[in-house]
Amino acid sequence: MTDVHGKPDAEFRNHLAQGRLAMQRFRKSGRLVFYPRLLCPETGDGAYEWVDVSGRGTVYATSVIRPRPDAGAPYNVALIDLDEGPRMMSRVEGVAPEAVAIGMAVEAFIGREKDQPIVLFRPADSSGGATS
């Protein structure tokens, strides 16, 4: 395992590589944050722990990106409000880009892009959240 002390982004990616969606919870504020950072944006405190999150959330905003015809198919970019509080930018997969709607319930899964693990979302179903 890579030494990630003092490197929250690397630690976040290591959790993803292990099939876990984990976020930092800063000890003084109790706040969960995303994107990984060294200091709490609320208190400036540097003491945190990593906690697994459910991966369930709601689409806050979405946009369809339409590349040139020779550059690929349309895709969406969405802001997702996780049930635990943090907001993430990602994509919703498994539906047409135009079908992604504000208020849609989604669940995270760990996909791969350029041989790296990334957090993606899909429409939620009745089986509960999924992170792998």
> The pTM is what?
0.85
Per-position DSSP letters for the chain, written without gaps between them:
----TT-HHHHHHHHHHTT--EEEEETTT--EESS--SS-TTT----EEEEE---EEEEEEEEEE---GGG---EEEEEEEETTS-EEEE-B-SS-GGG--TT-EEEEEEEEETTEEEEEEEE--TT-----
Strand order in the sheet with 87-90: 87-90, 75-82, 56-65, 105-113, 116-123
Could you give the percent of the chain with pLDDT greater than 90?
A: 77
- Selection from 11, 3, 44, 14 nearest residue 27 by Cα: 44
Which pLDDT score is estimated for 82? 97
Which pLDDT score is estimated for 3? 41
**Per-residue model confidence as pLDDT tens digits over 60-98:** 999 999 999 888 899 999 999 999 999 999 999 999 999
